[in-house]
């Protein structure tokens, strides 16, 4: 099985993808098409695999082994995996997007109902750069022998909670990229990606999943972290991802 989750930033996609990888008993591949390549599949290699490879490769061969085309080719050859995709992570959308969508067996469209919380989470991690600081205990540190195990520890809390992570986030500080303006741009980035997800859904139907509903009756522990803003970011109250998808189904 080849499982694809089309989603947005800070929508709980890592936890959801890990759950689906386990459900379908296929390898977890996360954001396989992001750069740098975090996961390999078949003949296509991750950046870590390239670095650790003892095989002498030319620059052209390294480029080919991490190329978008080779990754797509592995899906065409039915290599099992569960991956997530945020529009537009493909570099050559015109040539490869349809190939990606046509060479998976199941497509989920994952959104987060609480758009306010999603926006604040996205602004916070972009402001402080702490994508992995969930407050859950890790056993392997930064270089685990198996990255999927580490992802389950970080995002599902399989080893329980450690010390609570607290971040005080300033968006008033205009000395660093004017974060009040930047936060507004990040909110609009989420909105734009939701609109792209809706367009993709119309062309490539799949199963729409709300994060909050999916984990309502499943074991799931929220991140052990707290983010304190010195000023509330400007987030439009009239935008609702749920309404966006429901309006498509009714049309």
Provide the 10 A C-beta neighbour count for residue 179.
22
Q: What is the DSSP string of 122-135?
A: HHHHHHH--SS--S
Helix (H) or strand (E) holding 13, with range, is helix 13-24
192-242: pLDDT as tens digits: 999 999 999 999 999 999 999 998 876 667 788 888 888 888 888 889 898
Domain that holds residue 157: 2-250
36-66: pLDDT as tens digits: 899 999 999 998 888 888 778 888 999 999 9
Stretch 160-182: mean pLDDT: 77
Q: Which tokens go with 235?
A: 């987030």
């Amino acid at each position: 099985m080849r499982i694809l989750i089309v989603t947005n930033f800070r929508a709980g996609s890592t936890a959801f993808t890990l759950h689906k990888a386990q459900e379908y008993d296929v390898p977890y591949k996360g954001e396989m098409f992001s750069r740098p390549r975090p996961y390999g599949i078949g003949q296509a290699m991750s950046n870590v695999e390239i670095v650790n490879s003892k095989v002498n490769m030319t620059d052209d061969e390294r480029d080919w082994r991490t190329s978008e085309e080779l990754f797509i080719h592995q899906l065409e050859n039915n290599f099992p995996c569960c991956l997530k995709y945020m529009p537009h992570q493909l570099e050559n959308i015109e040539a490869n997007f349809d190939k990606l969508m046509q060479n998976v067996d199941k497509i989920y469209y994952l959104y987060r109902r609480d758009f306010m919380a999603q926006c604040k989470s996205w602004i916070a991690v972009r402001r402080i750069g702490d994508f992995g600081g969930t407050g859950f205990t890790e056993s392997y540190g930064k270089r685990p022998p198996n990255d999927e195990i580490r992802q389950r520890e970080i995002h599902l809390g399989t080893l329980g909670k450690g010390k609570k992570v607290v971040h005080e986030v300033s968006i008033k500080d205009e000395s660093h990229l004017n974060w009040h303006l930047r936060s507004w741009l990040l909110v609009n980035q989420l909105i734009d990606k939701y609109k792209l997800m809706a367009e993709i859904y119309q062309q490539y139907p799949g199963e729409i999943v709300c994060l909050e509903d999916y984990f309502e009756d499943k074991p799931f522990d929220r991140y052990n972290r707290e983010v304190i803003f010195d000023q509330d970011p400007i987030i439009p109250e009239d935008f609702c991802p749920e309404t966006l998808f429901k309006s498509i189904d009714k049309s």
